[in-house]
Amino acid sequence: MVDSPDGTISDLGEFGLIQRITAGAGAAKAVILGPGDDTAIVAAPDGRVVITTDLMVEGRHFRRDWSTPIDVGRKAAAASLADVAAMGAVPTALVVGLAAPGDLPVTWAVACTAGLTQEAALVGAVIVGGDVVAAAMITLAVTAIGDLQGRDPVLRSGAKVGDQVAIAGRLGWAAAGLAVLTRGFRSPKVLVDAHRFPEPPYAGGPAAAKGKATSMIDVSDGLVADARHLAIASNVVIEIDTSAWVIAEPLQAAASAYNVDPREWMLTGGDDHALLATFPAKAKLPKPFYAIGVVTAPGTGGAGVSVDGVWRAEPGGHEHYR
């Protein structure tokens, strides 16, 4: 919890809160009209706009005693911004809905918005609008739009037999961080931080599009789960080979301490927002992608995922309501 010299959002009122949240927002090249009217207006020079929305709920995606409001804002923005990157597009703007209890300190809401703004700034995007309502629990609804800059979008459905399978960004860090926090610890700090907010490889999205990626997906549910989404959309098998994986030191340390296989975090942990993409067999992988497997034709089991030669039939990732 934070101090609240400014009182609660109930004291400030809806319009006061919206004003505080959107103060300073809207100053980016793509913004034609920022907050304060019935809608914002954003440039769409490509003539097409990509759009995605994500919800984040207190107690399910974050806890106020584990994450600062800035962390929460960054994490909420990242989920939508990473989706835009996974199409090969560049985010331009966000709109944000905040449902929150009336006794929430204004400083929490303002810091959360600062987190949203900071994360968006990493890709040159800004918050252009929002809505706030009273509710029992904090819910953030973040919608991102973006520009394809004249390029074809990179879909989930384009993977071809013989393609390389590649990853940009971290795998398993957020899951390991959550395991640390769940056990009541606060270190290794890099893992805890990875749970608190991800560091998606945003630039990898457009780089993959320029690098002739045949398909791409944001890894939000877990590598195996999202590879399966891509495999089914493309009607292929994604064969992942973990034998050459270098396990990052913090993951190795936490896995040893808890006597688990760090590869399972890397295969099933969500929320790191890595990018999984496929590239033609002979393509040079654009930075920061590295190869983790190959695309093969579906056999009797149909489209799906195998890891080190073993078929993965179970969900292998995070899904709500399960």
Positions 42 through 61 that interact with a second copy (CB under 8 A): 42-57, 60-61
234-293 positions binding a second copy, by CB under 8 A: none
Q: Quick check: helix, strand or coil at residue 112? A: helix
Amino acid identity at 163: D
Q: For residue 198, give every residue at least 6 positions away whose Cβ sits within 8 Å of its Cβ, in sequence order, or none.
A: 75, 78, 82, 170, 174, 271, 272, 273
Closer Cβ to a second copy, 42 or 255, answer by number: 42
Q: How far is the CB of 145 from a second copy (least distance, A)?
A: 6
Residue 29 binding a second copy, by CB under 8 A: no
Residue 28 binding a second copy, by CB under 8 A: no
Residue 12 binding a second copy, by CB under 8 A: yes
Cβ atoms of 223 and 268 closer than 8 Å:
yes
Closer Cβ to a second copy, 195 or 263, answer by number: 195
Distance CA 275, CA 247 (A): 18
Q: Quick check: helix, strand or coil at residue 260? A: coil
Site mask, a second copy, residues 159-198, x = CB under 8 A? ----------------------------------------
Residue 209 binding a second copy, by CB under 8 A: no
Q: Quick check: helix, strand or coil at residue 125? A: coil
| C-alpha dist (Å) from residue 240 to 123, 159, 184, 211, 218 | 30, 14, 33, 21, 16
Distance CA 269, CA 224 (A): 9
Phi-psi domain of 213 (left: phi exceeds 0; alpha: psi -120 through 50; beta: other)? beta
Pairing outcome for strands 310-311 and 274-279? unpaired
Q: How far is the CB of 233 from a second copy (least distance, A)?
A: 7
Q: How far is the CB of 319 from a second copy (least distance, A)?
A: 5
Cβ atoms of 49 and 146 closer than 8 Å:
yes
Distance CA 101, CA 187 (A): 31
Selected range binding a second copy among 146-154, 190-198, 252-260, 286-294, rule: CB under 8 A: 146-154
Q: How far is the CB of 318 from a second copy (least distance, A)?
A: 9
- Shortest CA distance to 47 belongs to which of 179, 178, 147? 147
Q: How far is the CB of 262 from a second copy (least distance, A)?
A: 26
Selected range binding a second copy among 113-121, 130-138, 259-267, 296-304, rule: CB under 8 A: 130-138
Cβ atoms of 275 and 219 closer than 8 Å:
yes
Distance CA 94, CA 207 (A): 22
Q: How far is the CB of 8 from a second copy (least distance, A)?
A: 8
Site mask, a second copy, residues 75-94, x = CB under 8 A? --------xx-xx-x---x-
Selected range binding a second copy among 21-29, 112-120, 184-192, 213-221, rule: CB under 8 A: 213-221
Ordered alpha helix ranges (H), 154-212: 173-182, 189-196, 204-210
Selected range binding a second copy among 185-193, 212-220, 244-252, 279-287, rule: CB under 8 A: 212-220
Closer Cβ to a second copy, 141 or 224, answer by number: 141
293-322 positions binding a second copy, by CB under 8 A: 319-322
Selected range binding a second copy among 128-136, 161-169, 235-243, 258-266, rule: CB under 8 A: 128-136
Q: How far is the CB of 157 from a second copy (least distance, A)?
A: 8
Number of residues that bind a second copy (CB under 8 A): 74
Closer Cβ to a second copy, 10 or 118, answer by number: 10
